[in-house]
């Protein structure tokens, strides 16, 4: 199963040249700096939460778990959102993360 949302995966499959360029850019971004994989995954989760993208929060939660990040660490990222994003957005992110953690 892909960790990407279904519509995202379908888009990449329908447009393989775009998919190849996207993957190349993603690889370059991940490799262009000193952050370790765990930190990168938590940052990506935080960015998805900040944007309010439910599908991306699901995908990055799955990816984080696959990379050995604990549910407690994932939920800590959610709690850090409260002072920047507010309670309603944080609770929304909490439900999205729990969709995966409880699933």
Alpha-carbon gap, residue 79 to 100, rounded angstroms: 17
Residues 98 and 58 in one domain: yes
pTM here is: 0.88
Residues 25 and 39 in one domain: no
Sole residue written with tokens 């993957």: 23
Number of domains forming the structure of the chain = 2
- 42: containing domain: 35-103
Residues 22, 57: one domain? no
pLDDT in tens, the chain (103 residues): 466 778 888 999 999 999 999 999 999 998 999 999 999 999 999 999 999 999 999 999 999 999 999 999 999 999 999 999 999 999 999 999 999 999 8
Residues 27, 39 within the same domain: no
Looking at the fold, whether 51 and 94 belong to one and the same domain comes out as yes
CA distance 42 to 85: 17
């Amino acid at each position: 199963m892909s960790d990407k949302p279904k519509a995202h995966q379908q888009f990449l499959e329908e447009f393989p040249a775009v998919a190849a360029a996207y993957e190349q850019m993603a690889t370059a971004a991940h490799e262009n700096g000193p952050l370790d994989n765990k930190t990168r995954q938590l940052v990506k989760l935080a960015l998805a939460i900040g944007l309010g993208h439910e599908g991306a929060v699901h995908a990055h939660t799955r990816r984080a778990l696959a990379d050995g990040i604990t549910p407690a660490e994932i939920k800590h990222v959610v709690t850090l959102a409260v002072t920047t994003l507010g309670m309603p957005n944080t609770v929304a992110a909490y439900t999205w993360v729990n969709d995966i953690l409880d699933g």
